[in-house]
Chains A and B, each alone.
Chain A
Amino acid sequence: MSSDWPLWEVFVRSKGGLAHRHVGSVHAPDAELALAHARDTYTRRLEGVSLWVVPSAEIVASDPDQAGELFEPAESKIYRHPTFYDIPDEVKHI
């Protein structure tokens, strides 16, 4: 039995000006076919105006088990949000 083709992650830009968003993945032997498969799999209904494919093996991801420690510092710093500050209602445009 032959092995699977390598996996590619697919990103679609839904319309001009927006960033590409991850939508899923495809198997393909090379970049060109990965694009072709991505087009057929993920953009059959005008879902996008641009496609990116990236070899899945090239993606480095954070460890979900470490998510607590990794993101906690942001959780405790509520002063990064504008609503933390009391500005009287009569002051406008701020």
Chain B
Amino acid sequence: MYTTELQKTGKIENLEDPQLLDAFEARVAADEFIEPKDWMPEAYRRTLTRQISQHAHSEIVGMLPEGNWITRAPSLRRKAILLAKVQDEAGHGLYLYCAAETLGTSREQMVEALHSGKAKYSTIFNYPTLTWADIGAIGWLVDGAAIMNQVPLQRTSYGPYARAMVRICKEESFHQRQGYEIMIAMANGTPEQKRMAQDALDRWWWPSLMMFGPPDENSPNTAQSMRWRIKRDTNDELRQKFVDVTVPQAEFLGLTVPDPDLAWNEEKGGYDFGEIDWEEFYAVVRGEGPVAKERMKARREAWDDGAWVREAADAHEAKRKQRKAA
């Protein structure tokens, strides 16, 4: 899973030593990697901390819509697969928290920011998973969009982030394929199953396109992020790529993409597609998504309910130390 940078603090200003800044810009322009102990502009550190932690939060919150279906998966095979996928998402969250920590923000601060509602995560997880077909659509579309976003990030300029992305991308392919396999089964099943598949595509198509973030003309820090190689492609470029590879996959399933304006454009060698409802996107970013409150409540409850485990582990370690000292 992935989220584009959602929280913006206005225009980023550089109030740095110009010599250090020039040297940094030259390194990044030469496609060198920046490592935790290297000098970096504060704005670079802040932007990355925000982006990596939001990405981590998205992995963690992303477990909820799918975890919701583990007990109801239609066979033992599907249950084992879904369990493994949700487990992967937890792992991805941990890789990313580790990468973010190298920038000087503690795990505790990040978790606190998520639970207090201060930190953002991908808008996609604030939509409900109503039927089993949604689990197929999430793997196919949501993980597909995530892969589209994450593949170029394997060459992002911050070393620990890039290396986390390499590991994540390697694991992500199974997520998309298991989802598409569910869609194949549903689309070729009973008429009712096919209807469920179409309904899932109808509900997840537009939110998946929104995963790439606001349009380029409304993404004021894109230029700086591209120059610093934090981003390697713009939101609109990645969105176009996603549409171009996904539409034929929908056609193969015999499903209809819910966009009357969708049409192949021979000249540009890609699809034209309809206007995205950006009002809905910004409302979900503000925390008004259909199940935003439920997600945060589940997250906080999981944290609070796990408190005794963390305390017990600490108590055990304290006792062991005491015994060792004695």
- Is A56 in the interface zone, CB < 8 Å from B? no
Question: Cβ of A86 < 8 Å from any Cβ of B?
Answer: yes
Q: For this complex, into which size category does the number of interface residues on chain B fall?
A: 20 to 34
| CB–CB B252/A17 < 8 A | no
Q: Given the complex of chains A and B, what is the CA–CA distance between A82 and B174 in angstroms?
A: 4
Q: For A77, what are the chain B residues with a Cβ–Cβ distance below 8 Å? A: 80, 84
Q: Of all chain B residues, which has the CB nearest A80?
A: B84
Q: In the assembled complex, how far is the CB of residue A69 from the closest CB belonging to chain B, in whole angstroms? A: 19
Q: Which residues of A contact B163 (CB under 8 A)?
A: 17-19
For the complex, would chain B's binding face be called helix, strand, loop or mixed by DSSP majority? helix
Give per-residue flags for A54-94: 1 if the beta carbon is below 8 A from chain B beta carbons, else 0: 00000000000000000000000101111011111011111
What total count of A-B pairs have CB within 8 Å? 58
Bound-state CA distance A77–B87 (Å) is 12
Query: Complex formed: what's the CA distance from A14 to B159 in Å?
Result: 13
A84–B85 CA distance with the chains assembled, in angstroms: 13
**Is B252's CB under 8 angstroms from A85's CB?**
no
What is the bound-complex CA distance between A84 and B78, given in angstroms? 12
Asked if B122 is an interface residue, CB under 8 A from chain A, the answer is no
Contact of B180 among A16, A18, A90, A91 (CB under 8 A): A91
Name B170-191 residues within 8 Å CB distance of A: 171, 173-174, 176-178, 180-181, 184
Residues of A within 8 A of B248 (CB): 91-92
How distant is B266 from chain A, measured CB to nearest CB, in Å?
19
Determine whether B32 belongs to the interface, using a CB cutoff of 8 Å to chain A: yes
Does chain B have a CB within 8 A of A41? no
What is the interface of chain B, defined by CB distance below 8 A to chain A? 32-33, 35, 77, 80-81, 84, 88, 144, 159, 162-163, 171, 173-174, 176-178, 180-181, 184, 245, 248-249, 252
Other A-B pairs, 6, CB within 8 Å; known A17-B33, A93-B245: A17-B162, A19-B163, A79-B178, A80-B84, A84-B174, A85-B180
Sorted nearest first, the 10 A-B pairs with minimum C-beta distance are A17-B33, A93-B245, A85-B177, A82-B173, A16-B33, A82-B174, A85-B181, A79-B81, A82-B177, A80-B84
